[in-house]
Chains A and B, each alone.
Chain A
Amino acid sequence: MQSLVIVAHGSHLNPESSAPTYAHADTIRASGAFDEVRTGFWKEEPHFREVLRTVEGDEVYVVPLFVSEGYFTEQVIPRELRLEGWDVSEWGSDGLSADQATLVAEDVDREVHYCGPVGTHRAMTDVIERRAESVTGDPDVGEGFGLAVVGHGTERNENSAKAIEYHADRIRERDRFEEVKALYMDEDPEVDDLPEHFESDDVVLVPLFIADGYHTQEDIPEDVGLCEDHTEGYDVPETVAGTRIWYAGAVGTEPLMADVILERAADAGAALGTALDDVRETTRVATGD
């Protein structure tokens, strides 16, 4: 019996923090790829500490719904899941290349496949592009458009910037958008000066965050100048200093994220049948009209 456990941060304060986690879990349930799909949280229930004891399967894949490798994926989650003998070297990662480690979870005395975070998977690049399609309503968006991928920056985690740059580089290489920039909230180049970094009249701004919350709904819109105060709201697109900014909100809310979760499990050995193709198809942006 094959089980998927999606682990995410969750929140004590924001009721919508877990919404993307639940939505992606539902997409994967509907795909039938796993006999069982469970969710576990740091700030909600079931907690990381107790989620594995709710799991029935004997082939267990744990996928962290986090944007980068760092404190949570390297310390908190392995500790709270009680992965015996965990050491970050198990992943042998340069900060971007964590794949999976198979370890016994002491809590349930069973092996689990502990996967790298969704945010650094190559398939995440496609989700960022898909997010740009969603927010513009144009499955072919690119021509005449710039794309800004925005993250926290290194203040709390040096790998955070690595993930942003990795995806920005990949999208740039695909030559789809006129220009692609990695911008940060707490270091240069800063998202505050977005229009200065782009020549294009239209720029899609995609924050590399899992859930909408304080950073994506208050900080970034105010910093970029989409609004004076987040309570006023803003239009999409909103013109700031002559640049039309298409603000996408957290990339993690994009339905295609379910695909990255599946990719992580597949890389760790999960048998998924046609689920990857199915999910890519069912989460596609309608061509409209």
Chain B
Amino acid sequence: MSDPAPAAADADRQTAETVDDEPAVPDIDLPSDAFDAVLDALGDLDPNDRLRFEGFAVGRDPDAEDIEDAAAYVLEPGGDDPRTGLSERDLHAALEERAPQVTDWYAFERVVGEFGPRRAFLRWIEDADGATVATRYAALAEGIERAWGQLRVIATVTDRGERRYEVRHVDDAGVTREELAAHDDPLDAREIVKLDEKGRYRPLKTAPTLRRGWVFPELSPRDAYELVETVYPATVANWHREREGELDVNHWRETMARQSGIYGVIRTWDRGEGHEHVNWVAEACCDDSQCLKRREWEYDDGTDLDVDGGDGVFPCREPCSVVVSAARKWTRLESEQPRTYEFELTPSEKEQLEAIVDAVADGRIDEIREADTKEGANRYRARFLRAKLFDEEGNLGGVPTDPTDPDDPTDPDDGE
């Protein structure tokens, strides 16, 4: 899902000229804001220091009287003799020749800024810590595609060296822009992420149920980061920490030990009898089919769970609030003792019950066609089973849940 291969799927984008099938570096005009930023940086620079770009550096000429001097600057091309005594005009001409390197510096040092997660994410998109400016600008001219959860990000560069990002649902890759609802404010995404395709509330932002049909066609770097932060909160920050080797994972045991109030009961579920119950929780809630985060937490520091953590780009560092809430319910339910019930079922009825559980667990209910009575979880089949096997109180096979208490002792759980 993190395949960095540049793609050129979007017909709306300009295509760069190619030479020998190698994408060409696009022509970049040095914008005045980038040049002014270089001058500002030089103004603050000690004459012995250099402002470094890929392949060259600029500085202030130590022989110059002050920054107003007509020959105030020095250029140090890699491998060549330095050029000293440059006027502002000379410097501009030299930087104009190297506009890709200068605009690249400007994009990351001045536009993107220092904030670690944002900077790392936007550099990762174009592999800025691996590939040269020329390679990246050529790739950006074609459009660099990245996936983040269900987001598809296409990074491009304008003829002024500015980055632009198009973000849409990964499943809308082949859809023309005109067919999608266009947005430019990243905070608009709060409405997009709230409900799924069927209008149901999404309590977990990283559930793979992001709805389609929208596009942010031309985001600035900062807005692109804000959009990702809005759709998948804190995922970039955690991914960044993981890349830096600093992800603070909190395992199941310590997370549940921390809970208080109505969630304090969860710690009683760990009875020193193994961690099978937590395997079940992870299988129920944390599978890639349920959440796009890659589970990094385990039972405890020395005990891994037996189920797979998933393949997501961004990590999950501790059981989330959805897992904690569900675990509270399971702690209560799992405190019950098993009983032996006796029912009579035909083999097909047993299989049908299994099919119904499977269909609910896999979220397939809506896919089962109304008249498809071959499916055990078909509505008519389920209604037939209920008509045949349930008594008036809703007891399967007429067998009371608690034979000693004719009033069914349902759990008086008050939810959240």
A residues bordering B, Cβ < 8 Å?
11-15, 22, 26, 42-47, 49-51, 53-54, 56, 71, 75-76, 79, 107
Are B321 and A12 interface neighbours, CB within 8 A?
yes
Note all chain A residues with C-beta closer than 8 A to B237: 50, 53-54
Are B238 and A47 interface neighbours, CB within 8 A?
no
Are A47 and B415 interface neighbours, CB within 8 A?
no
Are A43 and B416 interface neighbours, CB within 8 A?
yes
Are B416 and A26 interface neighbours, CB within 8 A?
no
Closest to B258 in A: A79
Note all chain A residues with C-beta closer than 8 A to B322: 12
Are B203 and A13 interface neighbours, CB within 8 A?
yes
Interface 0/1 of B240-273, CB less than 8 Å to A? 0100000010000000001011000000000000
Closest to A26 in B: B187
Are A51 and B234 interface neighbours, CB within 8 A?
yes
Kindly state the separation between the CA atoms of A54 and B241 in the bound complex, as whole angstroms.
Answer: 11
Contact of B111 with A by CB under 8 A: no
B residues bordering A, Cβ < 8 Å?
115, 117-118, 187, 190, 194-195, 201, 203-206, 229, 233-234, 237-238, 241, 248, 258, 260-261, 317-318, 320-322, 325, 415-416
Kindly state the separation between the CA atoms of A273 and B267 in the bound complex, as whole angstroms.
Answer: 48
Are A15 and B234 interface neighbours, CB within 8 A?
no
CB distance from B326 to the nearest CB of A (A): 9
Are A49 and B229 interface neighbours, CB within 8 A?
no
Are B260 and A15 interface neighbours, CB within 8 A?
no
Kindly state the separation between the CA atoms of A45 and B228 in the bound complex, as whole angstroms.
Answer: 13
Note all chain B residues with C-beta closer than 8 A to A22: 187, 190
Return the contact of A54 from the options B187, B190, B233, B318 (Cβ within 8 A). B233
Are B234 and A76 interface neighbours, CB within 8 A?
no
Are A75 and B238 interface neighbours, CB within 8 A?
no
Are A12 and B233 interface neighbours, CB within 8 A?
no
Number of A-B contacts (CB under 8 A): 65
Return the contact of A15 from the options B115, B194, B258 (Cβ within 8 A). B194
> 16 more A-B contacts (CB under 8 A) besides A12-B321, A46-B234?
A13-B416, A15-B195, A15-B201, A43-B321, A43-B325, A44-B205, A44-B321, A45-B204, A45-B206, A46-B233, A47-B320, A53-B117, A53-B237, A54-B237, A75-B261, A76-B261
Are A12 and B234 interface neighbours, CB within 8 A?
no
Closest to A42 in B: B321
Are A43 and B234 interface neighbours, CB within 8 A?
no
Closest to A49 in B: B318
Are A45 and B229 interface neighbours, CB within 8 A?
no
Return the contact of B205 from the options A15, A45, A71, A79 (Cβ within 8 A). A45
Note all chain A residues with C-beta closer than 8 A to B321: 12, 42-44, 47
**Given A12-B203, A22-B190, do A53 and B234 touch, yes or no (CB 8 Å)?**
yes
CB distance from B118 to the nearest CB of A (A): 8
Kindly state the separation between the CA atoms of A13 and B241 in the bound complex, as whole angstroms.
Answer: 31
Are A43 and B203 interface neighbours, CB within 8 A?
yes
Are B201 and A45 interface neighbours, CB within 8 A?
no
Are B260 and A76 interface neighbours, CB within 8 A?
yes
Closest to B118 in A: A56
Closest 4 CB pairs of A and B: A46-B233, A50-B234, A12-B203, A15-B201
Are B260 and A45 interface neighbours, CB within 8 A?
no
Are B320 and A54 interface neighbours, CB within 8 A?
no
CB distance from A19 to the nearest CB of B (A): 9
Closest to A11 in B: B416
Closest to B250 in A: A49
Note all chain B residues with C-beta closer than 8 A to A79: 258, 260
Are A75 and B416 interface neighbours, CB within 8 A?
no
Are A54 and B195 interface neighbours, CB within 8 A?
no
CB distance from B247 to the nearest CB of A (A): 11
Note all chain A residues with C-beta closer than 8 A to B187: 22, 26
Kindly state the separation between the CA atoms of A26 and B117 in the bound complex, as whole angstroms.
Answer: 23
Are B117 and A54 interface neighbours, CB within 8 A?
yes
Note all chain A residues with C-beta closer than 8 A to B115: 56
